[in-house]
Amino acid sequence: MESRLRVFSSSVGTKILIGATGFALFLYLIVHIAGNLLVFLGRDTFNEYSHALISNPLVPVIEVGLLLILIVHVFKTIRMYRDNRQARPVAYVRKKPAGPPSRKTFSSSTMILSGLWLLAFLVIHVKTFKYGPAYESSVPGVHDLYRVEMENFTNPLVVGFYVLSMVVVGSHLWHGISSALQSLGADNETWTPRFLVFGKLMAVLIASAFIVIAIWAHFAGVRS
Angle in degrees, CA 142, 122, 150, rounded to 5? 45
CA neighbor of 172 nearest in space, from 23, 12, 37? 23
Residues 207-217 have pLDDT tens digits of 999 999 999 99
Residues 140-149 have pLDDT tens digits of 888 899 999 9
**pLDDT of the residue at 1:** 47
CA neighbor of 25 nearest in space, from 61, 69, 64, 83? 69
**pLDDT of the residue at 99:** 52
Q: How far is CA 62 from CA 24, 54, 58, in A?
A: 12, 11, 6
For the chain, which domains are there?
2-90+105-223 (1.20.1300.10)
Q: Give the CA radius of gyration of the chain.
A: 20
Angstrom distance (rounded) from CA 45 to CA 39: 7
**pLDDT of the residue at 132:** 81
CA neighbor of 165 nearest in space, from 104, 119, 127? 119
71's CB contacts (< 8 A; 6+ apart) are none
Question: Cβ atoms within 10 A of the Cβ of 27, count?
Answer: 10
Residues 157-208 have pLDDT tens digits of 999 999 999 999 999 999 999 999 888 877 777 778 888 899 999 999 999 9
Q: Quote the pTM value.
A: 0.85
**pLDDT of the residue at 103:** 63
For residue 23, pLDDT over 90 is answered with yes
